[in-house]
Structure 1
Amino acid sequence: MSLPDAVDYPFAWEPPMEVPAGWRTLREHSLQPVRLPSGDPAVLVTRYRDVKALFSDHRLSRNTGRYPTSRISPNNEIFNDPEIDNDPPRYLEERSLVVRAFSARRIESLRPHVWEIADELMDAMAAAEQPVDLMESFAFPLPIRVICRLLGVPHEEHAKFRELVDGFLSVTKLPTEEVERCRVGLWTYLGELIDAKRHHPTNDLTSELVKISDEDQKKLSDHQLQHWVQTLLIAGYVTTASQIGTSMAVLLHRPHLVREVQADFGIVPTAVEELLRYQLMGTSLGSLRYCLEDIELSDGTVVPKGSTVMLSVESNFDEEVFTCPMDLDIHRRENNHMSFGSGIHYCAGAPLARMELQVSMEGLLRRFPGLRLAQPGEDLPRVEGGFLGGFSYVPVRW
């Protein structure tokens, strides 16, 4: 079965509030060849059924640093750490240690604290001159404060942490030297944080993981410990921040939907899920895998051994799974989207992200009943050259 011609990836959000045109025909083929930002080739698995199955398929390896996997970026080997085993059984053993820390009970116990942070940020917004940038005033500071508290990062170091993470996640945005400075700086900083927790443990997740590592290096070596703290800090901050800003921008672009939420805040959870499905602030770059042997997809198409493979979050628009997928339906009930992955690679921090998104939407729309975009949604600038594709600036009034 012949494949279509390769296309550039990620797809451009043009205009920024509309689903990329390339997504509308993407599932005509189960496998779409693409060119990554590095110029290297990869294949994108497009259909929901195949994507869901492949998330748990041992023939796709996440150990991209150990194989000749295509590069995401021409100047940044994002997440390629050959010392980390991201495949079962080792990955599952380490992941189980982290998942326990993100239990539903623990996350729900954080909700009052998240509301406190949200209220404080909204107080500052209310006192500021309008328009206010929702990204800088709310979307970025809320999750960074939450995840830093969870992991024990001192408040005065939040700005430094954010700068290092932003550089770490550069795809084409920053020069190689700056990316390397941030990569080394972030790793060094986390090593110092772990050392501090080892000598002066506190009631946070980093201290818990340090204790596990110190008791049994076979469970969690020093390098693995540092890797997981880095992963949790990045995932718990930047993806959630981007999704908060993107979700609110998309919602505010449709005032009739804002009014629906304000008339019944009970629909906030379904609205959050639909915005996670519909307006993806990320791409499939984070799902990069190396194909260890030929894999046949549901329609008979073969993913060739040696391919660099991405599992498409764009499968959230598969017509065979989602009714009218191109429509934004904040009342959608059947919504098993792929935005948090699936199977053994389902995002451990999903419960925390959901809770923060729910608090953000309800808090902002309750506190500011007249909240609206201060410029047309079509003119909002998207982030360029980064790992995520949210908005860089979302001015609002009320």
Structure 2
Amino acid sequence: MTTAHEVRAYPFSEPDRLTLDPTYARLRTQEPLSRVQFPLGEPAWLATRYHDVRTVLADPRFSRALAKTRDQPRTHPDEHLDDGLVGMDAPDHARLRKLVARAFTGRRVELMRADTERIVEGLADTMVEQGGPFEMVENFAIPVPVTVISEMLGVPAADRPQLRGWSEAMVSTTALPWEEMERNAKELFAYIGTLVAERRRNPTEDLLGALVKTRDEDGDRLSEEELVMHVTGGLLITGTETTASQIPNFLYALLSHRDQWELLCAHPELVPRAVEELVRWIPLNYSAMFARYALEDVQFGDVTVKAGEPVLGSVASANRDPEIFEDPDRLDLTREHNPHIGFGHGPHHCLGAQLARMELQSVLSTLITRFPTLDFADGEDGVIWKQGMLVRGPKKLRVVW
């Protein structure tokens, strides 16, 4: 038997498709706050219950900024290079988030829906022209968010393939040597710096041009370093890698739950609800990330997290908590009560959540309308999964229709 404070190696196992390690379910029942040890960094507490995870993510008694001064839990040396907004506390976090959030208002995202649908429909046309088997990751899933965010920022079309390579390298855990990851990060930051300089010489109306204008007119609100950092991490990487992974994840989940795919094809009005359920059900990150440090003693049931101790909140586990979600391990596109935290919670709630929702809705709507007979070309076992990445997802997923 495991004692209450025995330190477990973490992550508990290597990612297996979209399967959530059963250890989380046992911990929610037997030891909701447990001790874990990443390959690097100091031991940490791991919260697995929904309400506890929300507390860790939102309670001001926990700090992300303090992690910069500590040997924070991680899988790589200096894993997060610079966490950007994710690594800040109030008031700096609120100051910068307010500025960057202007790019992702509900109104602005809705104005982008028609262009996004045009991009998705164009990719669907390519599917029809090429015929099956059709590889969905490189030829469909990646181009959607890369094109959308690149058009928002005004990134030249010729630079977008390289942009994708840099982005993927920066979310690697073991797929690339650390030195190569660091090189890619420096190249990406340098590239964004050149775009910023170009916008300063030749102002534009795109999002990057607007951010440069704001920075130059009110320099104390956004430094040059902050501008490049947030465009790189907060917009480009976050805006491409997660959605590019979720599109094939959604497809895999639906095609391996055929009844849910057919339900969605028969009832396209369920698409918005389906997106929320898939975000809840899919454990996108293969482990909890971004430890928060207690600024004072905080009580979780019969466990006291002492001031200065790090705590990780498992969003994937929280989204399977049976105290909140009925039959939580079942994928149910008709689920009505779904207060998932798949886009985070609290001050660090995902800035691009509305954009991601809109992109994913557009993709599902197009695929179920134009390809209702879509299926795996090589069966479920023919899907090739990414290895050594911070986010799960197929590397290759071929389909027929």
Using the size of structure 1 for normalisation, the TM-score is: 0.93
Deviation at 1:187, TM superposition (A): 0.8
Aligned pair 1:116/2:104, yes or no?
no
Structure 2 equivalent of residue 46 of structure 1: 48
Contact persistence 1:290–1:309 (CA under 8 A): yes
Structure 1 equivalent of residue 379 of structure 2: 376
Q: Distance in 1 between matches of 2:275 and 2:303?
A: 35
- Structure 2 segments unaligned to the other structure (5+ residues): none
Seen in structure 2, the aligned counterparts of structure 1 residues 378 and 278 have a Cα distance that, compared at 3 Å, is farther
Match of 1:161 among 145, 163, 171: 163
Seen in structure 2, the aligned counterparts of structure 1 residues 26 and 17 have a Cα distance that, compared at 3 Å, is same
1:50-102 per-residue CA deviation (whole Å, 9 max, x = no partner) reads: 11122222232212552213242334522436999610011011101121221
Match of 1:193 among 192, 195, 198: 195
Match of 1:349 among 348, 352, 356: 352
Aligned pair 1:315/2:318, yes or no?
yes
Structure 2 equivalent of residue 277 of structure 1: 280
Structure 1 equivalent of residue 10 of structure 2: 8
1:171-229 per-residue CA deviation (whole Å, 9 max, x = no partner) reads: 11111221121011011011111111111122211111111111122211111111111
Contact persistence 2:64–2:86 (CA under 8 A): no
Deviation at 1:123, TM superposition (A): 1.3
Paired residue secondary structure (2:302): coil
Deviation at 1:350, TM superposition (A): 0.3
Which has the larger displacement, 60-69 or 356-365? 60-69
Q: What is the 5 A alignment of 1:10-29? A: 11-14=13-16, 16-28=17-29, 29=31
Q: Distance in 1 between matches of 2:377 and 2:86?
A: 45
1:317 corresponds to which letter in structure 2? R
Paired residue secondary structure (1:317): coil
Q: Distance in 2 between matches of 1:379 and 1:83?
A: 38
Aligned pair 1:220/2:222, yes or no?
yes
Which has the larger displacement, 71-80 or 371-380? 71-80
Structure 1 equivalent of residue 265 of structure 2: 262
Aligned pair 1:359/2:397, yes or no?
no
Aligned pair 1:148/2:150, yes or no?
yes
1:164 corresponds to which letter in structure 2? W
Q: What is the 5 A alignment of 1:314-333? A: 314-333=317-336
1:237-283 per-residue CA deviation (whole Å, 9 max, x = no partner) reads: 00111111101111011221111111110001111110000012224
Aligned-pair RMSD on alpha carbons? 2.1
Q: Distance in 2 between matches of 1:128 and 1:62?
A: 48
1:19 corresponds to which letter in structure 2? L
Contact persistence 1:277–1:316 (CA under 8 A): yes
Deviation at 1:379, TM superposition (A): 4.8
Match of 1:289 among 286, 289, 292: 292
Deviation at 1:301, TM superposition (A): 1.2
Contact persistence 1:30–1:301 (CA under 8 A): no
Q: Distance in 2 between matches of 1:83 and 1:101?
A: 15
2:369 corresponds to which letter in structure 1? R
Seen in structure 2, the aligned counterparts of structure 1 residues 11 and 192 have a Cα distance that, compared at 3 Å, is same
Structure 2 equivalent of residue 386 of structure 1: 389
| Percent identical | 36
Q: Distance in 2 between matches of 1:376 and 1:42?
A: 40
Match of 2:186 among 184, 187, 202: 184
Which has the larger displacement, 269-278 or 367-376? 367-376
Structure 2 equivalent of residue 62 of structure 1: 64
Q: Distance in 1 between matches of 2:263 and 2:155?
A: 38
Which has the larger displacement, 277-286 or 310-319? 277-286
Which has the larger displacement, 133-142 or 50-59? 50-59
Q: Distance in 2 between matches of 1:372 and 1:113?
A: 27
Q: Distance in 2 between matches of 1:57 and 1:247?
A: 31
Contact persistence 1:169–1:387 (CA under 8 A): yes
Seen in structure 2, the aligned counterparts of structure 1 residues 379 and 295 have a Cα distance that, compared at 3 Å, is farther
Contact persistence 2:7–2:43 (CA under 8 A): no
- The aligned length equals 396
Seen in structure 2, the aligned counterparts of structure 1 residues 287 and 378 have a Cα distance that, compared at 3 Å, is farther
Q: Distance in 2 between matches of 1:10 and 1:196?
A: 46
Q: Distance in 1 between matches of 2:125 and 2:79?
A: 40
Q: Distance in 1 between matches of 2:341 and 2:86?
A: 24
Q: Distance in 2 between matches of 1:11 and 1:327?
A: 22
Using the size of structure 2 for normalisation, the TM-score is: 0.93
Seen in structure 2, the aligned counterparts of structure 1 residues 285 and 199 have a Cα distance that, compared at 3 Å, is farther
Contact persistence 2:109–2:354 (CA under 8 A): yes
Paired residue secondary structure (2:205): coil
Q: Distance in 2 between matches of 1:328 and 1:82?
A: 34
Seen in structure 2, the aligned counterparts of structure 1 residues 264 and 149 have a Cα distance that, compared at 3 Å, is same
Seen in structure 2, the aligned counterparts of structure 1 residues 83 and 50 have a Cα distance that, compared at 3 Å, is closer
2:56 corresponds to which letter in structure 1? L
Deviation at 1:11, TM superposition (A): 4.1
Structure 1 equivalent of residue 103 of structure 2: 101
Which has the larger displacement, 170-179 or 138-147? 170-179
Paired residue secondary structure (1:6): strand
Paired residue secondary structure (2:361): helix
Q: Distance in 2 between matches of 1:83 and 1:278?
A: 26
Contact persistence 2:292–2:312 (CA under 8 A): yes
Seen in structure 2, the aligned counterparts of structure 1 residues 80 and 73 have a Cα distance that, compared at 3 Å, is farther
Contact persistence 1:64–1:80 (CA under 8 A): no
